[in-house]
Structure 1
Amino acid sequence: MDFVEKRLTARAKRGDRDAFVELIEIYKDKIFQLAYRMVGNRQEAEDIAQETFLRVYANLHTYDDSYKFSTWIYRIATNLCIDRGRKKRPDFSIDEEAEGTEGLDWHSRLSSKEQTPEEKVVTQELQETVQDALSKLAPKYRSVMVLRYIEDLSLQEISEVLKLPITTIKTRIHRGREALRSKLRFM
């Protein structure tokens, strides 16, 4: 994938729109899922994903291809999520899912041919519980937890995305796990 990404980013930097569209296709779901895990709201996650790609397009000329493209785009998306959390204001959208329709989100699209309806409900409730607990973590812990356990990034990659030393990342992961564990205990 790195070779393909390098070729696509080089072409996109030269103004090839088709190459940029291919980069969007590679990352659109990953960026949406990252944003959704960090902000806990589908509409906000879609807005953040869109803003991420707009910023990538506008700043592609500044991308240093000695670094992984994934690190750069995750950094942009993570920073947008953190900024959104800082500016958080109560917002209500008519597009937001109504109470009791939680099964109609992206979790329901995960392939699970073997699950019974009861197992699906249990899985959905567990996902909602974890997402709720995750959304209550401080942003500095939420970001490392999502990048590590949802996006499966290495400590080095998280360090590059957040521009923090690995020792800080390890501390935040440890404290984030402890905070998540205590929040899940009381749910």
Structure 2
Amino acid sequence: MDNMKSLVMRAQKGDLSAFEQLVLAYQSRIYSLALNLTSNADDAQDLSQEVFIRAYSALGTFRLEADFGTWLHRIAVNTWINMQRKHKKVTYISLDEPVHNGESDMSREVAAATERPDELYEEKEFREQVRTVLKELTDEHRTVLVLREVYGYSYDEVAQMLNCTLGTVKSRLNRAKQAFKDKLTSMSEQLGNIPAKGRQVSKYEQSP
């Protein structure tokens, strides 16, 4: 932590090599978030590059008592939202991509309760439905779900990243969870191949 703070301080004074070290330290985490938001390797690469370009330009505004990684995530989210508004591009999050927590990769696939082939197939079909539903969510709902439910940021942290109030985050997250649940339930009932009632929809269905 002290080393990162030192690198940030040096970078703020114009030390390009220090900023390059920061990029190396955080690029995998930023790329992972970008890939979750765009679900496209090329777009994720472009978004990641843009994040570090903007971060370098805004280094003077970074407060040393804040977490640099969280600051970069905020830039990533805001940059992506702006890109979405500009290009009106519909994207979704891949549940098959691992979450990078800095130490290891954690899978966020919907866990199978058994390894029976028929139930494994059912889980695969269920994940496909989840992907489809996520694709249909609004950018606001998708973003708040990713930050809170996938990356585990607190409500306060999400509010800071999205530049909105705590009440707005909680309200948006509740609506996002309900929209997710309603769409998934409706789709499951229409297809009839996966029971909709009584099934836990990962942690997106949990209460805050």
Match of 2:13 in 1: 14
What TM-score, normalized by structure 2, do the two folds share?
0.67
Within-5 A mapping of 1:3-152: 3-88=2-87, 129-152=129-152
Deviation sequence 1:66-92 (CA, Å, 0-9, x none): 33222321121111111121122579x
Match of 2:174 in 1: 174
Q: Percent identity?
A: 34
In the alignment, structure 1 segments of 5+ residues that lack a partner are: 92-101
Pair 1:90–1:169, CA change in 2 (3 A): closer
Give the match's secondary structure for 1:67. Answer: coil
In the alignment, structure 2 segments of 5+ residues that lack a partner are: 99-104, 108-114, 189-208
Find the aligned partners of 1:170 and 1:90 in 2 and give their Cα distance: 25
CA contact (8 A) 2:36 2:97 kept: no
Pair 1:177–1:111, CA change in 2 (3 A): closer
Deviation sequence 1:72-114 (CA, Å, 0-9, x none): 21121111111121122579xxxxxxxxxx9xx855xx688xx
Q: Relative contact order (alpha carbons < 8 A, sep ≥ 6): 1 or 2 greater?
A: 1
Larger radius of gyration: 2
Match of 1:99 in 2: none
Give the match's secondary structure for 1:64. Answer: coil
Q: How many residues align?
A: 169
More helix by share: 1
Pair 1:175–1:106, CA change in 2 (3 A): closer
What TM-score, normalized by structure 1, do the two folds share?
0.74
Find the aligned partners of 1:43 and 1:178 in 2 and give their Cα distance: 31
Kindly provide the amino acid, as one letter, of the partner of residue 147 in structure 2. L
Kindly provide the amino acid, as one letter, of the partner of residue 40 in structure 1. S
Find the aligned partners of 1:129 and 1:144 in 2 and give their Cα distance: 20
Alignment pair present for 1:164 and 2:172: no
Alignment pair present for 1:153 and 2:153: yes
Match of 2:184 in 1: 184
Pair 1:63–1:49, CA change in 2 (3 A): same
